[in-house]
Structure 1
């Protein structure tokens, strides 16, 4: 099951406060391809595609009882982060709650980058942190495609002309110090077309991207892989990141 983009955008707007919708869309594209009932079993290097929330909850509870480390749902929130971000196996697959938890994890990661020089550096570090718990591992190329997690997320971003967040002007010298005058706008370019318009947080465990190895661009479904109870094994080498959770940025 893959949620339509229009539904995802509405969910991101309502449930992912503080994170731009295009950022959440890109992360979700890498983590789950928009499938809300995917579980990546980190411990056993397997993934499950469940047909319903009920089946996903049942599987997550089984994995929890066995002490497995796994990631769940649209944003593949890791089970080790459930307690700190208000999730349990029973609600981890709720669309909104999963997105809220993922957004909060990303915001907590971004808050840790406050001493970095610019927004681009901070965002790349925060995305790495979302993925691995530190600021560097997500920037390392890996797997057969030799691409980093952060690059993969960026590649999932749509090219558009959306108006950016006002936040990018907060540190603009011209705005913060006041500008003597605004640049002139040619009159023939200015017209109305519609007269009717009116502190550091605890390091997070890995939010692995193993799911993306199997369902990016919905290839799994297109190749006829059964969603209900399907189990897949990750490509050799894609799990080397889990060997060292203790590494610090």
Structure 2
């Protein structure tokens, strides 16, 4: 089963090419990927190691995100996940699609592409602004990175959340901050019920997403 087939089966409300671009950006298709806020960790290569690493990071009080769609640890209980189940590709993508869908619904734009760009910012940072700014000088914003990743996709099937258009200009940062209760967030927040989306900076060769051999 290809990634697009997995996405269509497990997260049918989000266009598969949008999910593919998101997963490529977040985890490089590694189902065991773990991104630590303001830190790094050796990337697990087995489910057993991934679970053990997640539990060790939890015990150490770290803030981190997990799996194909990089679900933040603060979102696990909200979506009925545990460290044992979050690495399942289908459940991980399903949860990522729910979070992105919540952001999309709350984006407040009649233009689906504008709403999608805002939703991606919300998925990344918990607001509709940060994803349009550069984390590091000389590097593209998160939303632009998703666009660049999406340029490799070609499926144009229309669903509730559309395929991202690579030729649409990226929006300028908004002044107002709108928070999403279920959004991913890259940076630390003071309240434990707020969420953090993490980037995975692993430089190894891209791992196959189908590490469970379930698909």
Which TM-score tier does this pair reach, normalised by the shorter chain? 0.7 to 0.9
Q: Which moves more between the two structures, 94-103 or 62-71?
A: 62-71
Q: Give the direction of change, closer, same or farther, for the CA distance of 1:160–1:38 in structure 2 (3 Å limit).
A: closer
Native 8 Å contact 2:36 2:198 kept in 1: no
More helix by share: 1
Distance in 1 (CA, whole Å) between partners of 2:53 and 2:154 is 41
Which residue of the partner structure matches residue 25 of structure 1? Answer: 20
5 Å matches for 1:166-245? Answer: 202-204=181-183, 205-209=195-199, 211=200, 213-215=201-203, 220-221=204-205
Distance in 1 (CA, whole Å) between partners of 2:26 and 2:125 is 13
Which residue of the partner structure matches residue 140 of structure 1? Answer: 133
Distance in 2 (CA, whole Å) between partners of 1:107 and 1:167 is 9
- Does 1:53 find its partner at 2:53? no
Give TM-score, length-normalised by structure 2: 0.75
The aligned length equals: 178
What 5-or-longer segments of structure 2 have no aligned partner? 162-178, 184-194, 207-215
Provide, for residues 8-41 of structure 1, a one-character-per-residue CA deviation record: whole Å limited to 9, x for no partner. Answer: 2221111112001000000000001101111112
Give TM-score, length-normalised by structure 1: 0.66
Provide, for residues 133-177 of structure 1, a one-character-per-residue CA deviation record: whole Å limited to 9, x for no partner. Answer: 000100102225421000000100135664431669xxxxxxxxx
Provide, for residues 187-213 of structure 1, a one-character-per-residue CA deviation record: whole Å limited to 9, x for no partner. Answer: xxxxxxxxxxxxx9515322122x1x3
* Residue 51 of structure 1: how far off its partner (Å): 1.3
Q: Which moves more between the two structures, 128-137 or 11-20?
A: 11-20
* Residue 66 of structure 1: how far off its partner (Å): 2.4
Native 8 Å contact 1:85 1:104 kept in 2: no
Q: Give the direction of change, closer, same or farther, for the CA distance of 1:35–1:160 in structure 2 (3 Å limit).
A: closer
* Residue 47 of structure 1: how far off its partner (Å): 3.2
- Does 1:15 find its partner at 2:10? yes
Native 8 Å contact 1:38 1:48 kept in 2: no
- Does 1:38 find its partner at 2:28? no
Distance in 2 (CA, whole Å) between partners of 1:78 and 1:38 is 12
SS for the counterpart of 2:42 is strand
Which residue of the partner structure matches residue 191 of structure 1? Answer: none
